[in-house]
Amino acid sequence: MTAKILDGKAVAAKERQRSAARAADFVSKFGRAPGLAVVKVGEDPASAVYVRNKRRACEECGIASFAHDLPATASRAELLGLIHRLNRDDLVDGILLQLPLPKGLDSTEIMDTIDPAKDVDGFHPTNTGLLAQKRPGLRPCTPWGVMRLLKEYSIDVTGMRAVVVGASNIVGRPMALELLLGRATVTVCHTGTRDLQGEVQRADLVVAAVGKAAYIPGIWIRDDSVLIDVGINRLPDGKLAGDVEYAAAAERASWITPVPGGVGPMTIAMLLSNTVDAALARKGVKGGP
């Protein structure tokens, strides 16, 4: 068996076109573009690349991007003051805080300060709670992007035995909530899981979100299952690799996401979608899918 590719790059392009059309419609109705403020603290090289890509994506979709780059020496008071100003700024519909923050700054405290209505990352406890209560508002971009990708390829998770490997607040936990909304039967694996191999081998759908290259042997992937690899890990030779041994897994799975070109592009695409949704909601218009 050779797995078919879940082409996140192609699906993300379609989603970005949709966001561009919605942003243009917003401009025609309200006289301004949806606005996204991107806050970066310090000079982390990876963060600089991510922020540059996000700002470029905004420009391509007709979303106004407001850059706020603070030095690594910025104090807690300076950063909180900026967030409070952005919360009150009527031109700003979404606020994105690029992580990680420099040492000494509490990312949880800062993210909790963001207005939930402008939380386009979907990380605020209010938005996480709404997702848990089956009343999703602004949804975490990576899990939401995974669901959008599955939908594009007509993969219905209803009744599937889904295993999420990784329990982070950014991917693992909200991914489990999204799959529950899709009526899958969900198991979340973490450092306390006793039989990770067995859990993965029994799964119809595996979502790997560990952040360690080739953490899951490809031979664990069950024949004819669906594999979503969220991991993006840089190897010593500079190449990118996922959390699962790709070659071996691709011989067994029915569908698989490549790394790169799988989940990564979907994350940015759903960020843009969330920004337009937030702008519409702030105008009293339901803008969700």
Q: Which residues are catalytic?
A: 54, 98, 121
- Report the alpha-carbon distance of residue 96 to residue 163 in Å, rounded: 29
Sheet holding 161-165, edge to edge: 4-5, 255-256, 226-229, 205-208, 161-165, 185-189
Which tokens sit at 11?
Answer: 């699906």
Q: How far is CA 81 from CA 76, 87, 180, 194, in A?
A: 8, 10, 37, 45
Determine the distance from the C-alpha atom of residue 67 to the mean position of all C-alpha atoms in its chain, rounded to a whole number.
20
- Report the alpha-carbon distance of residue 96 to residue 2 in Å, rounded: 38
Is residue 70 a contact partner of residue 39, using CB atoms and an 8 Å limit? Answer: yes
Peptide bond into 260 cis (omega under 30): yes
- Angle separating helix axes 263-282 and 8-30, nearest 10 degrees: 20
Which tokens sit at 2?
Answer: 């050779």
Query: Any alpha helices (H) in the chain, and if so which ranges?
Result: 8-30, 45-61, 76-88, 107-113, 125-132, 141-152, 172-181, 196-201, 246-250, 263-282
Peptide bond into 100 cis (omega under 30): yes
Which tokens sit at 21?
Answer: 């059309």
Is residue 53 a contact partner of residue 96, using CB atoms and an 8 Å limit? Answer: no
